[in-house]
Amino acid sequence: MVDASDKLAYFQAITGLEDIDLCTEILAAHNWDLELAIAAFTGNPNVPESSDNVGRLISGAVGLGLWAAGGVLSYSFGMLGLGGRRGGDSSASPLVQVPSSASEAMEFVAALEREYGSGMRVNFVSEGFMDALQRSRHAYKLLFVYLHSPDHPDTPLFVERTLGSEVFADFVNENFVAWGGSIRASEGFKMSNSLKASRFPFCAVVMAATNQRIALLQQIEGPRSPEDMLSILQRVLEESGPVLGSARLEAEERRNNMRLREEQDAAYRAALEADQAREQQRREEQERLERERAEEERKRREEEEAREREAREAAEREAALARRKQEKALSLGAEPEKGPDVTQVLVRFPTGERKDRRFHSNATIQSLYDYVDSLDCSNFESYNLVSNFPRTVYSPEKHSLTLKEAGLHPQASLFVEPNL
């Protein structure tokens, strides 16, 4: 976990406050929750600002640090929120990054395109300074920084002639990651203070060092021609080449060592897995034979039980069908003699067989179904009685109608239509 002294240092780095008592008071008021304290500070317009408390804005999203000898800036990754967590504690809370940094970078790029159109050839990344620095670190390149002062009289010519130079832009795009920011925006303004920019246009070359710090390798102030800029950047690139090359070689060596270890581990695992596979195959073969014997016995028992069950169910169905036919026949009563209130009904089956019977005209459609169910030639589980001219299906909702109401009096011809 991050201790109180770490949180205090981080809070000072992010806010720029140097008064330790004030920082301690703010953190304590927020229960030492770093993110809440930062959010409260940056979002509260009533927080007092003075030259002592906010004298120096910190670079990028959170800040830059100390000046070193020889004009080279050395900045702590920890202060910038890029350093590794102490003791490998994965639960340590990450530092809060100013959420507007990426949007400011995108707006800067869009503003240059609006102002200078296709004349802007340098490919500035549309992300915050810290993300751009990480991008350059992963690509083993230097970070080219341009601070844009829209109101400076030298700015338009510098952008058009130098940044717009195809030769210069191609060189930067090929060898650097380029980041730019307007000093009118929060991050660009903070960078100008951190880099102590005194003249514009202002450019710098920064690199992420391997000792958890950041170095400012070169700063270029005032208007410069494309040739001057190329000469300076080429010199910086030549001087930094061994460092970048060494970092690239170290990374390649780490990858090679890791690949070798992975190959050795893979060979060992393959041999072990081959032995295990042979043993597993032997066990599986034995288990397979046992399962086959058990399966054959199970199938034999199931088939025998199925035959017995099928015979039993068939007998039950036949008995139930016989009972139903008998019950239906009894429910019909005696067939009435011919008369004016008697309906003659002819029923045709799918087999071509015909059956006819007389019913009272006030008998229901259900009586016709009962009659069909009582016949030996009727073994349908589900069917409908249908008349042809016009076609009418006497479905269950019509079963309560009388023959006269259904238009089947004095005589009717119906078909048995099984439901598939």
Instruction: Name which CATH class applies to 342-418.
Output: alpha beta
pLDDT band at 345 (very low <50, low <70, confident <90, very high): very high
Contact 63, 16 (CB under 8 A): yes
pLDDT (0 to 100) of residue 37: 80
The DSSP-derived string for 314-359 is HHHHHHHHHHHHHHHHHHH-SPPPS-TTEEEEEEE-TTS-EEEEEE
Q: Taking residues 142-147, report their average pLDDT.
A: 95
Tell me the pLDDT tens digit for each residue of 35-54: 788 777 665 433 333 323 32
Specify the range with the lowest mean pLDDT, choosing from 56-65, 148-157, 196-205, 267-276. Answer: 56-65
Tell me the pLDDT tens digit for each residue of 109-129: 898 888 887 667 899 999 999
pLDDT (0 to 100) of residue 20: 82
Q: Is the pLDDT of residue 359 over 90?
A: yes
d(CA 166, CA 49): 45
Tell me the pLDDT tens digit for each residue of 275-299: 999 999 999 999 999 999 999 999 9
Q: What percent of the chain has pLDDT over 70?
A: 82
Handedness of CA 85, 90, 91, 93 (dihedral sign): positive
Instruction: Name which CATH class applies to 65-256.
Output: alpha beta
Specify the range with the lowest mean pLDDT, choosing from 1-15, 34-48, 326-340, 360-374. Answer: 34-48
d(CA 135, CA 211): 17
d(CA 154, CA 218): 20
| Of the options 3.30.460.20, 1.10.8.10, 2.60.40.770, 1.10.10.10, the CATH number for the domain spanning 1-55 | 1.10.8.10
Specify the range with the lowest mean pLDDT, choosing from 6-10, 44-48, 165-169, 282-286. Answer: 44-48
pLDDT (0 to 100) of residue 360: 94
Q: Where are the domains of the chain?
A: 1-55, 65-256, 342-418
pLDDT (0 to 100) of residue 80: 39
Residue-averaged pLDDT of the chain: 81
Q: Is the pLDDT of residue 407 over 70?
A: yes
Contact 103, 192 (CB under 8 A): no
pLDDT (0 to 100) of residue 2: 56
Tell me the pLDDT tens digit for each residue of 304-314: 999 999 999 98
Q: Which residue has the higher pLDDT, 14 or 134?
A: 134
pLDDT band at 15 (very low <50, low <70, confident <90, very high): low
pLDDT band at 358 (very low <50, low <70, confident <90, very high): very high
d(CA 169, CA 121): 6
Specify the range with the lowest mean pLDDT, choosing from 61-75, 116-130, 148-162, 278-292. Answer: 61-75
Buried b (16+ CB within 10 A) or exposed e, 306-323: eeeeeeeeeeeeeeeeee
pLDDT (0 to 100) of residue 211: 59
pLDDT (0 to 100) of residue 406: 92
Task: Give the distance from CA 261 to its chain's centroid.
Answer: 33
Contact 159, 112 (CB under 8 A): yes
List the beta bridge partners of residue 417: 384
Q: Which residue has the higher pLDDT, 22 or 116?
A: 116
Q: Is the pLDDT of residue 266 over 60?
A: yes
Tell me the pLDDT tens digit for each residue of 320-340: 888 888 888 888 888 999 999
What would you report as the CA-atom Rg of the chain, rounded to the nearest whole angstrom?
46
pLDDT (0 to 100) of residue 209: 67
Q: Which residue has the higher pLDDT, 245 or 418?
A: 418
